[in-house]
A and B are shown apart, each in its own frame.
Chain A
């Protein structure tokens, strides 16, 4: 009881600490901690060539300029791009400064500064793709929909949904360069990508097989996010941005990265009574995206997301039930090959197991999806995901089976052989059935683990349950409500599985009936 009280008091203190004025804390600390993602982050934030432990980019310089105006140093904190708002909410970072466009939903949850940059969206297609001459060509009906690669949860995704609905579908990537590579190699039938203009400017030379299609569209505002209660921090940052624009510091930074253009003059400066930015006149794209968020009460908004979460759950189930049987069969074959196969086969199979177990699943999926096309083998995302999961888990199943097979006494094989059975028949009828019974519990555990590992597949554009959750938690801000629903979905799927397997286990323990 005393312990619990103590814990509550501690929690209380922490909450109070988080609520104290951050500007004061920052000044006292002498550091402004700004969150961004250096992965594929040019020209915003990316590792330096001469010292890859340090970051460079126009946002790095901007952070330094603004921090200096607050009288402190800037400290970079790495975070996954779509999780940066969560890090901010947790208090790990003071601000998010990483190409976040102003949106109604951010404005509802966070403090937003005046813009530091006006971005536009640029469509890219393959240089040799003669189907497209103008942007309009993507709005012409064709056989099936065009596939446009976008960063999941970005303004580009919304733009594709709002302005190309009917003729094109967004394919969600987790990195800008991944999306561009997908177009270049026509991975999974991707035709085009819609990117923020700064990214196009920066990476254009690297993706020489791509060309711009049409003029930039849909201007929007990059703003800095701060916690809702940090009013004084937002005001101080607004002042810092304004001063840095006026004395030419920010234009100079932008110029160095080739990001200066006339559109920057349309930067909005209006704020509400709390110092938060208000677009005026509303920027076309952001307003349209925000418009989609409106229309209905909050419960209704959340209710509309349910079918999409359910759709994600279907993908999750599909990935699991398609890949696990493959993994089990392949794993058994690998184990048998390693134990009973010719030496020539044993070594490669051993390497396969070691390499697969020794490298992360996410890397394997990435190789399957993005690098195999370089060798001319392009797999659809779902196929790559199923193959990747199956191949990865096959290595683990193989080791489980190997242990299981080795646990069967040698006398079983000898008895079978002495009855005139061939090795293959003895394995099939006598040894493997006994080993399978032994390995059911560990294989079950792996099935449940695989079920959850399907979440990783979002790196190769497969939008399964957890990705759907992130997308809709981001766009509605209903992190907790949708989080609970998502967790329920996962439980609702894994619990029957557990029951089923337990029943199977019991039945196998009793042995087969007499048929």
Chain B
């Protein structure tokens, strides 16, 4: 349902993306791994237009985004279908937890307040935050905030979800609760692309793993292949650096 074809992007003198092609099927969980600076986050952000690109095209279902073509109209459509969860949560601090979740359904989809709140409560229930509906984001722990962010994105009933290092800003105690929320979602058949450094999580959740290195896909395959029999030097170096223990969990 998501297809990236030959995506190139330059930041001044640096080639951040050097021809990346990627296909994500309906219901697939796709994990992007690789060393920092490899272009994983940038690639993820091109899909919903938070980053532009210089060459190539992106297709989400029947919607097509090109480097030079009209963007605004297509992006608006894509963003309604593709939700995103950020490393820093980016919750709206001036709104309560429930309001964070109902904001977009009400004001983008035009849903009534009662309906949006009913759905919002259900979603917050699912991520285990039924008792925090009226709290301010600032009063929550990092793990709780990230779970609100997941519920907020889900409230738009996205066809696909993008996770941009969802556990990197969390201390280890909080990581587990967020990982479990995402894993539940994956088991439920949610299409998603996940950028992460948590190898155990990646191995447990992924259908397909892509290793990015210097703006290209170095290697792609099922998690067992990538973790047990890495073929590319970059993959081996990365796994060695992050630690074999991490891979096993």
Contact = CB atoms under 8 A, between A and B. Distances in A.
A422 B108 CA distance: 8
Given A420-B76, A420-B80, A514-B134, A415 B107 contact: no
Residue among B50, B82, B90 with max Cβ neighbours from chain A (10 Å): B90
B107 A429 contact: yes
Tell me what chain B mostly uses at the interface: helix, strand, loop, or mixed.
Answer: loop
B136 A409 contact: no
Contacts of A433: 94
B59 interface: no
A421 B86 contact: no
Interface string A429-453: 1100110010000000000000000
A419 interface: yes
B79 A514 contact: no
Residue among A419, A429, A434, A514 with max Cβ neighbours from chain B (10 Å): A419
B196 interface: no
B153 interface: yes
Interface string B99-114: 1000110011100000
Contacts of A511: 94-95, 136
A422 to B, nearest CB: 7
Nearest to B136: A511
A413 to B, nearest CB: 9
Interface residues of B, number: 31
Interface string B80-97: 101110101011111110
Contacts of B107: 421, 425, 429
A16 interface: no
Interface in B207-223: none
Given A414-B50, A514-B96, A419 B90 contact: no
Given A421-B104, A429-B103, A415 B94 contact: no
A102 to B, nearest CB: 67
B108 A421 contact: yes
Contacts of B96: 514
Contacts of A437: 94
A434 B103 CA distance: 15
Nearest to B79: A420
A430 B92 contact: yes
Contacts of B134: 514
A94 B48 CA distance: 78
B169 to A, nearest CB: 11
A405 to B, nearest CB: 14
B40 interface: no
A420 B88 contact: no
B94 A419 contact: no
B217 to A, nearest CB: 24
A417 interface: yes
A420 B108 contact: yes
A417 to B, nearest CB: 6
A420 B156 contact: yes
Interface string B21-64: 00000000000000000000000000011100000000000000
A434 B94 CA distance: 7
B152 interface: yes
A420 B104 contact: yes
Nearest to B108: A420
A419 B76 contact: no
B142 to A, nearest CB: 14
9 contacts: A409-B90, A415-B92, A417-B48, A418-B48, A420-B108, A421-B104, A425-B108, A434-B94, A514-B96
Which 10 A-B residue pairings sit nearest by Cβ, starting from the closest? A415-B90, A419-B104, A411-B90, A418-B84, A420-B80, A420-B79, A420-B108, A414-B50, A434-B94, A411-B88
Given A418-B82, A425-B108, 5 more contacts: A415-B149, A417-B50, A418-B50, A419-B83, A419-B104
